[in-house]
Amino acid sequence: MGMEEFYAIYQQGKKGEGGWDSYCYEWWWKRDYRLPGARFTKARGKLVLLGPHQQTRDIWKILPATASQAARAAARRIFERALVSKDEIAIAKRVLKHLVALEYLPKRATWKSPEVAAYLAWRREKIGELRGGETQFKVEYLENDVDCFENTGRPVISAKYLKSPCEM
C-alpha cells in the first residue's frame, strides 16, 4: 500500500467513513520519550530549555573584551539553540494538555513544568540525531495527523513554505 492510499484510508476513518475509525497518537503518549531533569528557565530575559545536566552558565558565557569574533559567534549560537521557539511552546502546551488529561500532572500545572520540559528536551535531542532533522522527526514521530503525511516523499517546495501552522 502506498502512502497516498494509506492517507486516503486514514482520512476516511477520520470522517467516520469506510467502517473504521482513525486515531492519531502523538509521540508524547510514550512516557519513555523524555529526558528527566530538563527544565525551562530564563537567561538574559529570554526563555530557554536546559538539558538534564546543563546550567545557565553552559549556554551563556560572559566573554572577555579580547574574545575573538569567532568565539562570540560560537557562544551566541549555543545560546540561540537553547531558546524556546514559538513552535516548541505550542507543542509544550499540547504535551501539558495530554499529561493533565492522563493525570500525570495536576490541572494547575503549566507548560513550563519540568515534566513538559523533559519531553521537549527529548524532542530536541532526537531531532539532532536524525539525519533529516525536524522534517524527518515529524514523519517518524507524529505531532499531528497532517505533518506526517505532508513531509513524506520528495516535495519540490518545502512544507514549511506551503502552510502556516495551525492549532489542532
Q: What percent of the chain has pLDDT over 90?
A: 62
Question: What single-letter DSSP state applies at residue 80?
Answer: H
The stretch 97-102 carries a mean pLDDT of 97
Whole-number Å distance between alpha carbons of 33 and 30: 6
User: In the chain, count of helices (H) and strands (E)?
Assistant: 8, 2
Whole-number Å distance between alpha carbons of 107 and 103: 8
Give pLDDT, residue 166: 46
pTM of the model: 0.80
Is the confidence at residue 45, as pLDDT, over 60?
yes
Give pLDDT, residue 157: 46
Is the confidence at residue 154, as pLDDT, over 70?
no
Domain range summary for the chain, segments of one domain joined by +: 23-162
The stretch 54-80 carries a mean pLDDT of 92
Secondary structure (DSSP) of 112-136: TSHHHHHHHHHHHHHHHHSTTHHHH
Per-residue pLDDT band at 167 (split at 50, 70, 90): very low
Is the confidence at residue 158, as pLDDT, over 70?
no
Whole-number Å distance between alpha carbons of 60 and 82: 10
130-150 confidence digits (pLDDT tens): 999 998 899 889 888 777 676
Give pLDDT, residue 12: 80
Whole-number Å distance between alpha carbons of 51 and 39: 7
The stretch 13-42 carries a mean pLDDT of 90
For residue 97, count other CB atoms closer than 10 A to its CB. 13
